[in-house]
Chains A and B, each alone.
Chain A
Amino acid sequence: MTTIEISCVEVWREISEYVDADVSAELRVRMEAHFKVCAHCSAVLDGMRNVVGLVADGRLFQTPEGFNKRLYSKVNPSE
């Protein structure tokens, strides 16, 4: 089967959805073929995966100490 080539610009347009595994099987195959031969797009993909992985980590934004207790202070003003 012949894989239809895809340009860098087309790859960038779809790369976020590719990271989310939200592209069609056909498009995924075309993008993966492109990543194999394009160092720039591979670098963009690796960088985006890094960013998405780090941002999703719970350690990035931590609640202040005592936040959980104070959160209900207006619901239960007497406590």
Chain B
Amino acid sequence: MVRLSHFMNNPLKQLDSNEADLISRVCKGEHKAFEELVRPYERLVYVTAISVLRNPADAEEVAQEAVLKAFSKLSSFRAECKFSTWLVQITYNEARMKLRKDRRHLYESVDDPRQDKEGDYWPKDFADWRPIPSELLENEQVREALQNAINSLNDMYREVVNLRDIQNLSIKDTATVLGIPETSVKTRLRRARLLLRDALAPGIDGLWHTGHPYQKVRPW
């Protein structure tokens, strides 16, 4: 049985009292408390899964598996990182496992060392950008353009963008989830952001094509 004091007596433990209480209740058999514990992070779980798998149906399946695994392993959670980081880590590992399994028939490895190029990447496009109002995300085409740009990134860059920029995890937590040094997170993030910027600049509406003169078509 996990006691509340187990989490609260150690100042290094990264858990707030409400989460510690919920975990304690789940471990005592109050299963409903588990939903209350996970609820603030439901979207986090989904976005983590879809960022790896790029397919809503697979992402949902993996999200359910991850939540089940978190439930069954909760008594072994020692609060050495935040609960949300632990949950994202489980989801991320489940998603990677599914990807590895699904890709096996393609003779392709998600750990392909050839992808692990972290050299410098310099911007290619210097077109002037105006600030883009976030209301534009109400537009499905704009959302699709952004999602496609993110999905076009290699796994290692997409995962860092997902954790750091979409889910707003700290550099330290991103490094914990991915099991890589913080310096690698920063290098990958820089490259990913520059790649995204080049993919979207300057025609985020998708009507600009490389090699053709830019036609100003933005509605703002």
Contacts and interface: CB of A to CB of B under 8 A. Distances in A.
Contacts of B146: 54-55, 60
Given A16-B193, A44-B123, A74 B65 contact: yes
Contacts of A9: 122
Nearest to B69: A74
Given A16-B186, A74-B65, A47 B143 contact: no
A70 B60 contact: yes
B31 to A, nearest CB: 7
Q: Secondary structure at chain B's binding surface: helix, strand, loop or mixed?
A: helix
A9 B137 CA distance: 32
A55 B194 contact: no
Interface residues of B, number: 52
Interface stretch (B45-53, B95-103, B105-113, B205-213): B45-53
A67 B46 contact: yes
Contact of B150 (A15, A47, A55): A55
A9 B194 CA distance: 13
Interface string A46-70: 1111111111111111011001101
A50 B165 contact: no
Contacts of B12: none
B88 to A, nearest CB: 14
A19 interface: yes
12 contacts: A12-B123, A16-B193, A19-B193, A44-B194, A46-B130, A46-B131, A52-B193, A60-B166, A63-B46, A74-B64, A75-B68, A75-B71
Interface of A: 9, 12-13, 15-17, 19-20, 22, 39-40, 43-44, 46-61, 63-64, 67-68, 70-76
